[in-house]
């Protein structure tokens, strides 16, 4: 009896049955993932007929063809189709493009991010695909790194919480699996150099970088992707300690591990850590990689290794078992649940997207400029290189940039740049527009921009960066506004108008001048389809802003890393040639209301090790607009055997509070949450005092002391 074909058996039984029927060629085939664009046509066709494990970057109709061919192979094992649906299924023109991970993290809204994940999964599945290479759980601590936009910001706790939420959303209907990446400490590369070595220790990995992956694994995340880089000179691709021992054996991750793009080949061609692909393949599988993304030589090399008895067949079985289990979990053998293609870009998803764009915006400064009542102004000037550039607004990982750059493609879905948003919100006849300058280059139109600014009652200037300055292979040393952007803002400020700066950028930039001289500052990052509408609605007061920064803004590129959870002990605590502190800090963000915190209470002030307490605080909305507030709980371990941060986030809650009302917000805090990683790599809660700080941000909070016995 072919148990593997029968739905009535358990996934484990079906997997073991199938595994027992497979030849070594079929098993190794499952461990290979092929991209549609790296092979010559004949080789590609060959892989389709061979029945290999997975394809990536293939869209809808082509997936059907590959699926049909796989069905005709001896065992008919369906392939798994992976895609970079990083902020929506955005490699497909017409699908919903959500704000980038960095933008959406500023919403601090777990449930909305869960909904975004679910909507993305439905669009990916409707297109016939099964697997998104998302979320990125890297930590954006060196802002020079090109991939800051792909992260949930600078804090390990926030990343873990939002990572868990998005994974739950992706996987809740069992339509697709998620991929927690890039394992591990990839963003911490020395000098912010993409894919370069980083010098963290295992203690630091456990303390800072591992917790988000543990949360992802506990949430049932189907896959993990190996990082490109190396830790203390050992490439992650061959890091058995990190992958096999810590991720799989210790944490108990049950999904499978896929390498990043050509990681196995890079061991030979870039990192010089193996003499040939055969040796690289052996090392990679022994370290715990279950699937090779590209490096298609892997297939023949593995066959040779088996023939020569150079690799333990148990490792191959373990890898294939993990991959097959996911295929059964997604019901690929049973005719996966069909999702109507019409849900791609549907109104329900647009609604979630619009809401997420609104909650992702961060109002950083408001010198009594906002909101602007539509009726009170006759003309509004919209100026700046990013005011009407949907490419810059989308950021990375859309059909504009992947799988290969396309310059002239027209978006099929509905989208709002800030210019369109302002026109629709304030009335087209009121709007004057000029680009002012480009992101790069010698040309500028500042004189023309100044001319229209002078005619207007309100001036909105949309600046930032563009994709050429961000992404893989694109790290920056200089984080200043490029080109003529600062000159443009200066010229507008000199008109005497209170300039409203809107920032559309993939990462924090150095904006001291903007902070000091503009009347209002709004950070969007990459806002997706509705970013421009949401910004216009914020300006007009149609909703009350509630986002806060998930990442800090330095004064100068060389001030990075500038994350909030630093250790104490820096002599002087600042660079002698800069002022103290950042331009904006993690958790900064204003509302049109005012929220006052009072009555911080701990359910008990002493707690035995292993116990838990509740922390509560009252928050009153004393403004005259209903609004949402994000309450933050930070902890300081007063005395610890290793350095601990001055403040470490351990909880956040976003609450809606009507004007004039007070709400009590409670957090649960376990003593386990206070554990440190000791130098001998143990998780220990050291007895003593902990300051418990609850408030709006890193500067305004109430404090109580908790003693752990
Ligand atoms: C390289 C990137 O590092 C990774 O994030 C992505 O998922 C894969 N390529 C596939 O495109």
Ligand 1 centroid – CA 175 distance (Å):
21
The predicted-structure confidence for 464-523, as pLDDT tens digits, reads as follows: 999 999 999 999 999 999 999 999 999 999 999 999 999 999 999 999 999 999 999 999
State which ligand 1 atom lies nearest to the alpha carbon of 134: 7
Give mean pLDDT, residues 270-283.
Answer: 98
Confidence of residue 1 (pLDDT cuts 50, 70, 90): confident
CA of 271 to the centre of ligand 1 (A): 18
Exposure string for 310-336, b = 16+ CB within 10 A, e = fewer = ebeeebbebbbbbbbbbbbbbebbeeb
Alpha-carbon distance of 433 to 421, in angstroms, equals 13
Per residue in 641-662, pLDDT (tens digit) is 999 999 999 999 999 999 999 9
Q: Measured between alpha carbons, how far is 561 from 141 in angstroms, rounded to an integer?
A: 6
Which pair of structure tokens corresponds to residue 307?
């023939």
Average pLDDT over residues 429-458: 95
Task: Identify the residue whose C-alpha is closest to ligand 1 atom 7.
Answer: 133
Instruction: Give the ligand 1 atom nearest the CA of 136.
Output: 5
Decide if 260 is catalytic: yes
- Work out which ligand 1 atom sits closest to the CA atom of 182: 5
Contact 201, 209 (CB under 8 A): no
Please say whether the dihedral angle defined by the alpha carbons of residues 209, 100, 98 and 565, taken in this order, is positive or negative: positive
The tens digit of pLDDT for each residue in 143-181 reads: 999 999 999 999 999 999 999 999 999 999 999 999 999
Distance 268 CA to ligand 1 centre (A): 19
Using CB distances shorter than 6 Å, the residues near ligand 1 are 84, 133, 181, 260-261, 472
Q: Give residue 226's pLDDT.
A: 98
Q: Which residues contact 42 (CB under 8 A, 6 or more apart)?
A: none
Residue 690 has pLDDT above 90, yes or no: yes
- Is the full-model pTM beyond 0.85? yes
Question: What percent of the chain clears pLDDT 70, i.e. is strictly above it?
Answer: 100
CB-CB neighbours of 697 under 10 Å: 17
Confidence at residue 50, expressed as pLDDT on a 0 to 100 scale: 85
Q: What is the largest CA-CA distance in the chain?
A: 83
Among the listed residues 632, 621, 628, 623, the one whose alpha carbon sits nearest the alpha carbon of residue 596: 621
pLDDT band at 441 (very low <50, low <70, confident <90, very high): confident
Strand partners, 614: 668
- How remote is the CA of residue 641 from the centroid of ligand 1, in Å? 39
Burial class (CB in 10 A: 0-12, 13-18, 19+), 558: middle
Bridge partner list, 651: 633
pLDDT of residue 37: 72
Q: How far apart are CA 419 and CA 383, in angstroms?
A: 9
- Distance (angstroms) between ligand 1 centre and the Cα of 84 equals 7
| Residue closest by Cα to atom 3 of ligand 1 | 260
Rounded distance, CA 7 to CA 602, Å? 51
C-alpha–C-alpha distance, residues 277 and 298, integer Å: 7
Q: By alpha-carbon position, which residue is closest to atom 1 of ligand 1?
A: 261
Q: Is residue 60 over pLDDT 90?
A: no
Mean pLDDT (whole number) for 191-200:
97
Report residue 462: phi and psi, to 5°. -105, 110
- Buried b / exposed e across 50-84, counting CB within 10 Å, b at 16+? bbbbbbbbbbeeebeebbebbeebeeebbbbbbbb
Give the ligand 1 atom nearest the CA of 472.
Answer: 3
Ligand 1 atom closest to the CA of 86, numbered from 1: 7
Output Rg (C-alpha) for the chain, integer angstroms: 26
Both tokens assigned to 592: 């049109």
**Rounded to an integer, what distance in angstroms lies between the CA atom of residue 96 and that of residue 414?**
9
Whether residue 285 has pLDDT greater than 90: yes
Q: What is the mean pLDDT of residues 98-104?
A: 98
Q: What is the pLDDT of residue 189?
A: 97
Residue 408 reports pLDDT greater than 90:
no
Return the pLDDT at 51.
86
Which protein residue's CA is at the shortest distance from atom 9 of ligand 1? 261
Distances (CA, A) of 381 to 387, 431, 450: 11, 6, 10
Closest Cα to atom 11 of ligand 1: 84
pLDDT at 40 over 80: no
pLDDT of 405 higher than 90: no
User: CA–CA separation, 135 vs 116, rounded Å?
Assistant: 12
Distance 432 CA to ligand 1 centre (A): 41
- 600 touches 702 (CB < 8 A): yes
Say if residue 210's pLDDT is above 90: yes
Give the chain's mean pLDDT.
Answer: 97
Residue 28 confidence class, pLDDT cut points 50, 70, 90: very high
Name the active-site residue from 149, 260, 290, 475.
260
Provide mean pLDDT across the span 597-613. Answer: 98
Q: Which of 70, 79, 29, 28 is nearest to 49 (CA)?
A: 70
Q: Which of 131, 261, 475 to mutate to test the pocket of ligand 1 (most atoms within 8 A of CB)?
A: 261
Residue 51 belongs to what H/E stretch? none
């Amino acid at each position: 009896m072919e148990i593997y074909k029968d739905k009535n058996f358990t996934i484990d039984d079906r997997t073991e049955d199938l595994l027992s029927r497979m030849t070594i060629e079929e098993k190794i085939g499952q461990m290979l993932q092929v991209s549609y664009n790296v092979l010559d046509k004949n080789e590609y066709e060959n892989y389709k007929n061979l029945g290999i494990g997975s394809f990536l970057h293939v869209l809808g109709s082509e997936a059907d063809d590959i699926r049909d061919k796989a069905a005709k192979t001896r065992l008919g094992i369906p392939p798994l189709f992976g895609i970079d649906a990083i902020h929506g299924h955005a490699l497909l023109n017409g699908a919903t493009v959500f704000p980038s991970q960095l933008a959406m993290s500023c919403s601090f809204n777990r449930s909305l991010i869960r909904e975004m994940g679910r909507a993305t999964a439905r669009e990916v599945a409707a297109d016939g695909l099964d697997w998104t290479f998302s979320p990125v759980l890297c930590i954006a601590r060196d802002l020079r790194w090109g991939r800051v936009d792909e992260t949930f910001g600078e804090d390990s706790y926030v990343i873990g919480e939002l990572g868990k939420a998005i994974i739950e959303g992706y996987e809740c209907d069992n339509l697709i699996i998620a991929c927690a990446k890039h394992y591990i400490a990839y963003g911490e590369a020395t000098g912010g150099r993409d894919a370069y070595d980083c010098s963290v220790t295992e203690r630091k990995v456990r303390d800072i970088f591992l917790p988000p992956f543990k949360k992802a694994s506990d949430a049932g995340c189907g896959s993990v992707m190996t990082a490109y880089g190396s830790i203390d000179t050992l490439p992650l691709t061959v890091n058995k300690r990190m992958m096999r021992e810590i991720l799989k054996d210790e944490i108990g991750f049950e999904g499978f591990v896929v390498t990043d793009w050509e990681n196995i080949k890079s061991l030979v061609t870039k990192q010089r850590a193996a003499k040939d692909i055969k040796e690289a393949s052996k090392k990679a599988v022994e370290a715990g990689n279950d699937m090779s993304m590209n490096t298609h030589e892997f297939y023949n090399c593995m066959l040779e290794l088996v023939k020569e008895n150079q690799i333990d067949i148990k490792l191959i079985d373990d890898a294939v078992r993990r991959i097959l289990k996911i295929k059964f979990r997604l019901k690929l053998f049973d005719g996966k649940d069909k999702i109507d293609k019409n849900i791609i870009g549907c109104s329900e998803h647009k609604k979630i997207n619009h809401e997420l764009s609104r909650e992702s915006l961060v109002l950083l400064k408001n010198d009594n400029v906002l909101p602007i009542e539509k009726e009170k102004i006759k003309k509004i000037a919209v100026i700046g290189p990013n005011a009407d550039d949907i490419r810059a607004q989308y950021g990375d990982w859309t059909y504009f940039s992947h799988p290969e750059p396309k310059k002239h493609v027209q978006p099929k879905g509905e989208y709002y740049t800030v210019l369109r948003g302002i026109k629709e919100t304030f009335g087209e006849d009121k709007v004057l527009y000029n680009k002012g300058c480009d992101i790069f280059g010698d040309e500028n139109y500042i004189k023309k921009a100044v001319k229209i600014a002078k005619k207007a009652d309100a001036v909105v200037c949309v600046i930032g960066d563009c994709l050429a300055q961000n992404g893989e292979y694109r790290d920056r040393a200089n984080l200043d506004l490029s080109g003529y952007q600062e000159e443009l803002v200066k010229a507008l400020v000199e008109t005497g108008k209170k300039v409203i700066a809107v920032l559309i950028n993939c990462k924090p930039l150095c904006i001291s001048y903007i902070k000091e001289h503009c009347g209002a500052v709004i950070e969007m990052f990459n806002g997706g389809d509705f970013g421009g509408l949401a910004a216009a609605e914020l300006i007009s007061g149609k909703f009350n802003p509630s986002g806060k920064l998930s990442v800090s803004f330095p004064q100068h590129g060389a001030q990075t890393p500038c994350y909030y959870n630093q250790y104490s002990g820096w002599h002087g605590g600042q660079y002698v040639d800069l002022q103290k502190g950042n331009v904006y800090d993690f958790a900064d963000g204003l509302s049109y209301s005012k929220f006052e915190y009072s009555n911080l209470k701990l359910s008990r002030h002493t707690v035995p090790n292993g116990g838990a307490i509740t922390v509560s605080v009252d928050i009153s909305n004393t403004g005259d607009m209903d609004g949402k507030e994000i309450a933050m709980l930070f902890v300081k371990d007063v005395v610890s055997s290793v350095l601990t941060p001055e403040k470490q986030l351990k909880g956040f809650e976003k609450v809606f509070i009507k004007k004039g009302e007070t709400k009590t917000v409670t957090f649960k805090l376990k003593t386990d949450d206070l554990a440190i990683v000791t130098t001998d790599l143990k998780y220990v809660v050291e007895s003593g005092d902990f300051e418990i700080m609850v408030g709006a941000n890193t500067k305004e909070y109430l404090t109580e002391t908790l003693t752990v016995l």
